[in-house]
């Protein structure tokens, strides 16, 4: 079951971390997203702070046609791109979260962004469901 929070769609996967990441990449591709950035938060925190945390991978996903529509309508929206999807281990569970672009784009108060946020939000919700379902 996909839950919606103030900023994200989230669900718990019955699969391990690596399998969930692989499914995430596949599900994003099926919805027309490409992964344009990848941050291994676990490795970065180890490197920069010398701390150990559970696996946490952030995939920066871009849906090019929607990104173009959004940037053409409101250039400052580019600071909100790409849409992030995170796979993390929390208390022994593998959790998947994808940003809810509609809730974030509302901050820009431009009606031209509403359809983009809604469409991409629906796609990311389907991605989370496909990964964890």
Number of domains forming the structure of the chain: 1
Q: What is the pLDDT of residue 108?
A: 87
Strand blocks (E) in 16-109: 34-40, 56-62, 83-90, 93-99
Q: What is the pLDDT of residue 19?
A: 98
Quick: pLDDT tens for 40-85.
999 999 999 999 999 999 999 999 999 999 999 999 999 999 999 9
- CA dihedral sign, ordered 75, 120, 80, 111: positive
Q: What is the pLDDT of residue 104?
A: 85
Give residue 105's pLDDT band: very low, low, confident or very high (50, 70, 90): confident
Question: Pick from 42, 34, 44: which is nearest to 87 by CA?
Answer: 42
Domain of residue 32: give its range: 3-132
CATH number at residue 77: 3.30.310.70
Strand blocks (E) in 18-115: 34-40, 56-62, 83-90, 93-99
Query: Rounded to two decimals, what is the model's pTM?
Result: 0.94
User: Mean pLDDT throughout 79-98?
Assistant: 96
Is the preceding peptide bond at 82 cis, omega within 30 degrees of 0? Answer: yes
N-term to C-term CA, the chain:
8
Percent above pLDDT 70 for the chain: 100
CA distance 69 to 51: 40
Question: Pick from 62, 64, 66: which is nearest to 82 by CA?
Answer: 62
């Amino acid at each position: 079951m996909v839950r919606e929070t103030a900023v994200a769609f989230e669900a718990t996967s019955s699969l391990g971390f690596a399998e969930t990441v692989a499914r995430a990449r596949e599900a994003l591709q099926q919805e027309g997203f490409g992964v344009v950035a990848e941050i291994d938060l676990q490795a970065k925190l180890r490197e920069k702070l010398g701390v150990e945390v559970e696996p946490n991978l952030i995939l920066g996903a871009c849906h090019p046609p929607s990104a173009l529509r959004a940037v053409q309508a409101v250039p400052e929206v580019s600071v909100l791109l790409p849409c992030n999807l995170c796979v993390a281990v929390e208390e022994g569970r593998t959790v998947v979260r994808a940003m809810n672009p509609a809730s974030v784009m509302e901050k820009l108060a431009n009606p031209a962004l509403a359809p983009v946020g809604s469409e991409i939000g629906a796609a990311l919700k389907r991605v989370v469901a496909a990964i964890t379902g």
